[in-house]
Amino acid sequence: MIAVVDEYRDCFLLECICRVLNEHTVGGFITSRGYRLVKKRPLSSRALRDEVLVGEVRRVFEENYRVYGVRKLWHAMRRESWYIGRDQVARLMRIAGISGVHLGRKPVTTRPSPTPDTRPDLVQRRFSSNAPNRPWVSDITYVSTLSGFVYTAFVTDVYSRKIVGWATRSTMQTEELPLEALEQAIMNAKDFDGLVQHFDYGSQYTSVKCSEKITDYKIKSSTGTVGDSYDNTQAEA
């Protein structure tokens, strides 16, 4: 309750804050006189120690790129000769208002198309070429960063095995992400006459916008079978 009063003391009268707290808080009671007596009381040895430890916890957290959770931060504190318990580290982190990075569940990069794809498989797992810009293969992957996952779409030339087009986004939007990578590859290619662009069966590559772009550039479109990574081996590698 003291912390709540401290937070709103500059905005409202002390008596009003105490009255509202007493009306809406179960199992607690505070008066303006009691608050003033508490504030005049000297800090306990635990409170004084917490002030020092919170500063050290925050410093170690910042020095380790703000990613450590309770367990790693506890070990880091012990390495610096602060022999405090794991639960105490958790309490100090709450006081400091800090928390570690949680990776969460693995993101999905391929969503099956809801409609049948009638495009043929022109590659038939033959990932070799005697000239550049004949078969291209495409896929989407993700990279874990400190701020979360970043999705990356790329286009690889089978002949040189080099990435000729790529794009990144924080979200996997069906129409934009793979198109940006494909357009970059097309812009960099000097000659793509007879080019076959091979995709997997994800909805990102079966969208109307993606199909129209392929048709506009007179590129032959090829698609592997559903759920078979071997039909797009080079892109998956």
DSSP line for 38-59: HHHSPPPHHHHHHHHHHHHHHH
List C-alpha distances in Å: 213 to 81, 186, 207, 210, 218: 61, 10, 10, 5, 9
Q: Residue 110 pairs with which residues in a beta bridge? A: none
So what's the pLDDT on residue 234? 47
So what's the pLDDT on residue 3? 75
pLDDT tens digits for range 152-168: 888 888 888 889 998 88
Mean pLDDT for the stretch of residues 104-126: 60
So what's the pLDDT on residue 230? 44
Alpha helices (runs of H) in 80-232, residue ranges in sequence order: 86-96, 177-188, 208-216
Domain 135-236 homologous superfamily, CATH: Ribonuclease H-like superfamily/Ribonuclease H (3.30.420.10)
Which of 109-113, 213-217, 223-227: highest mean pLDDT?
213-217
DSSP secondary structure code for residue 190 in this structure: S
Supply φ then ψ for residue 162, to 5 degrees. -105, 150
Token pair of 43 as six digits: 């800090």
- d(CA 15, CA 32) in angstroms, rounded, equals 6
CATH 3.30.420.10 domain span(s) along the chain: 135-236
Report yes or no: 232 and 198 within 8 Å, Cβ to Cβ: yes
pLDDT tens digits for range 136-154: 888 888 777 777 778 888 8
- d(CA 174, CA 204) in angstroms, rounded, equals 4
Q: Which residue has the higher pLDDT, 103 or 198?
A: 198
- d(CA 6, CA 17) in angstroms, rounded, equals 10
Q: Is the pLDDT of residue 228 over 60?
A: no
Report yes or no: 219 and 191 within 8 Å, Cβ to Cβ: no
- The percent of residues in the chain predicted with pLDDT above 70, rounded, is 77
Q: Which residue has the higher pLDDT, 108 or 197?
A: 197
pLDDT tens digits for range 56-82: 999 999 998 888 889 999 999 999 999
